[in-house]
Amino acid sequence: MSEKIFRSGFVSIVGRPNVGKSTLLNRILGEKLMITSDKPQTTRNQIKGIHNVPGGQIVFLDTPGIHRAKTRLNKFMVEEALSSVQGVDLILFLVDGAFDPEKEAGMIREVLSGVEAPVILVLNKIDLIPKGDLLGRMAVYGETYPFKEIIPVSAASGDGVEQLVQLVHTLLPEGPCYFPDDILTDVPERFIVAEIIREKIFRLTHDEVPYSTAVVVDSFKERETGVVAIQATINVERDSQKGIIIGRKGEMLKKIGTQARQEIERLLDAKVFLELFVRVSGEWSDNSRMLKEFGYES
């Protein structure tokens, strides 16, 4: 009896900001690994999510949303996304089901120009599509690009996600197990901790404040008692933003810290002592040296 083929490969998830890329990957992994918020451009780095299935391993790449870049930070984010469509085995192009498909055509063709890997169009948020419109929208997208398949899903509810994963697995080539089967990502815990803190800022603050913050974990130590002591700095661009992050009598910073600590404790399965500091690093999002220091330029 011949052995079953083990299929594996790298799958990039791309699309505009806020179409649900991170939510979809969290749903697939069964764990909240990627940070999310209702604000666009939450994801800044390309992050691997490792999903094992019977007879295979899928390495997903969660990417920043593709948007018009103004600052150096935004350019870095777009480059992270666009570079991910090269050298992968498969691409999931995610779109918001509520968007007008005809207005997405130009961007889709531009991003996928010259791409060699097969592409699955994932029509997300199907719960927001008026009844009777789904097939028509799929037909419009089908005329935009020669997609391998067009799959409707709801990342929020999970509808269609398992079918999508099964399809992805069947389209991957025969290959090795790239990562141990007991890990979800190859990024260090320090990175995930910084992302969790940044997510709380996105969820709790408004306007330009979350976009002007960068979190750096300065110290990450496990004490003999088993408590993990973490010190992190929240970098902002202006004094006014520092005041908002700290809040009246330190209330906002305390709220950010409490929510972040609770999630970090679940992640590490340990008691956490979290200290947060706020520093003004003027116009860091357009400063090459600071971007490198904060992990946003290679």
Q: How many CA atoms lie within 13 A of 76 on its CB side?
A: 19
Is 198 annotated in a binding site? The answer is: no
Is 21 annotated in a binding site? The answer is: yes
For residue 147, the SS3 value is coil
How far apart, in whole angstroms, are the C-alpha atoms of residue 297 and residue 209?
21
Task: Return the exposure string of 176-206: e unless at least 16 CB atoms fall within 10 Å of the residue's CB, then b.
Answer: eeebeeeebbeeeebbbbbbbbbbbbbbbbe
Is 63 annotated in a binding site? The answer is: yes
Is 230 annotated in a binding site? The answer is: no
Is 55 annotated in a binding site? The answer is: no
What strand order describes the sheet that includes 228-236? 214-222, 228-236, 272-280
Tokens of 155: 């990342």
Q: Count other Cβ atoms within 10 Å, centred on residue 209.
A: 20
Report which secondary-structure segment, H or E, holds 44. none
Is 32 annotated in a binding site? The answer is: no
Is 125 annotated in a binding site? The answer is: yes
For residue 70, give Cα distances in angstroms to 74, 208, 295: 6, 14, 18
Is 15 annotated in a binding site? The answer is: yes
Is 248 annotated in a binding site? The answer is: no
Pairing of strands 90-96, 56-62: unpaired
Is 124 annotated in a binding site? The answer is: yes
Is 218 annotated in a binding site? The answer is: no
Is 56 annotated in a binding site? The answer is: no
Report which secondary-structure segment, H or E, holds 89. none
Is 249 annotated in a binding site? The answer is: no
Is 65 annotated in a binding site? The answer is: yes
Is 142 annotated in a binding site? The answer is: no
Query: Binding site for GTP, residues?
Result: 15-22, 62-66, 124-127
Query: Binding site, residues?
Result: 15-22, 62-66, 124-127
